[in-house]
Structure formats: C-alpha cells, structure tokens
Amino acid sequence: MEIDFKKFKDGLVPAIIQDNITQNVLMLGYMDESAFLRTKQFKQVTFYSRSKKRLWTKGEESGNFLEVVSIAIDCDNDALLIKVNPTGPVCHKGTDTCWGNQNIVEYGFLSVLEKTIHNRKNASTNEGSYIASLFEKGMNKIAQKVGEETIEMIIEAKDTNDELFLNESADLLFHYLILLQAKGFTLQDIVKKLQQRHKAE
C-alpha cells in the first residue's frame, strides 16, 4: 500500500475509523506519513493533530486505544479506511462515537423487528397487539408457539413449495425473537455465543 502524501493539503490524508465488529463509523481523523507509518508499526491508530501540531495516538491520555485490524485505501487513493477494535469510548466527550450514537451491532430489519417487539412488550397499552398478547399469556404460550412454528417449518422443508417454507421460516424466526426477549435476551446474545464457539474451533 503506497500513498502519495505530497498530493494532499499539508500532507494530511483523511482516515475513517470503523469498528471491525459493529461496522459502525467511529470517527474521522487525519494522518501524515509519520502517523501512518507509526499506525502500521504499532497497530494502534495514530493521527496528526492539526490543533496540537504533533502526532498523537488515540487513547494516549484516556487509555481508550484503537487497536488496528486492517487498513485500506479507497479507489482514488485519497482516503483511508481503518478497521479497529476500540478499547473504550472513542469521542473525547465520552460517547462511543464522535456522532454521539451507541456503538452497537445492527442486523438490519431484524434489529428493527427486535425494537418493535421490545416496544410492544413494554408499552402501557397494547390493544390489538399480537406480540403484547403473547407476552400477557406468559412463557408457556410463547414457547409453545415456537414449538408449533418449528414443526410447521420442518413439514414444509420436506415438501417442494418454497413459498410455504419461507413463510413458516419467517414465522419461526419471528416467534423465536419474541422468546428471546421473554427470557431477557436479544439476538446479539446469541451472536456472541456463536462467536465464542467459532473461536474455540
């Protein structure tokens, strides 16, 4: 990887910092050639501070370092993408990111669905809500529904109607997400368990 630092204003290349696990953008900084080489050598993100006029390693004061996983340069050779494992909040204001949002894993529509389930579970009034009615009926009913949907999915798996199989699979996943929250867990807890097993293999 070669970067022509001389073509940039003041020799500073913008460096986008992204969490390697959550894929969230954490911050934006600038690197001169010395900061870039130091980052590569020590595997901790080092920037050039335009205000302090010197190199500074992120976390040198707070202890919240950015451990480098990978470094890539974009197609026009004018920006860096550095994937990291952060050891704490990134922003100097104490937030996870410099945009103030939480650095948590999102699973697209599944995360939206989890939030809907959570809101229905905890809302003060849920008239007509199927999700709320399941929570009101308790753990046995929720577990029973997961069992029923599992059997229906297995039956359709042995048939040739793909649309019915997909429908039953969606029903099973939906009720499984409800069961997880009824037990006090989320999809992320299951992902963490799978990651632990993956590392052990």
pLDDT tens, 156-200? 999 999 999 999 999 999 999 999 999 999 999 999 899 889 876
Residue 83 has a pLDDT of 98
pTM: 0.72
**Angle at alpha carbon of residue 163, lines to 177 and 188, rounded to 5°:** 20
User: How far apart, in whole angstroms, are the C-alpha atoms of residue 47 and residue 56?
Assistant: 5
- Classify residue 31 as exposed, middle or buried by CB count within 10 Å of its CB (0-12, 13-18, 19+): buried
pLDDT tens, 86-130? 999 999 999 999 999 999 888 999 999 999 999 999 887 777 899
User: How far apart, in whole angstroms, are the C-alpha atoms of residue 200 and residue 61?
Assistant: 34
Sign of the Cα pseudo-torsion (30, 35, 38, 44, in order): negative
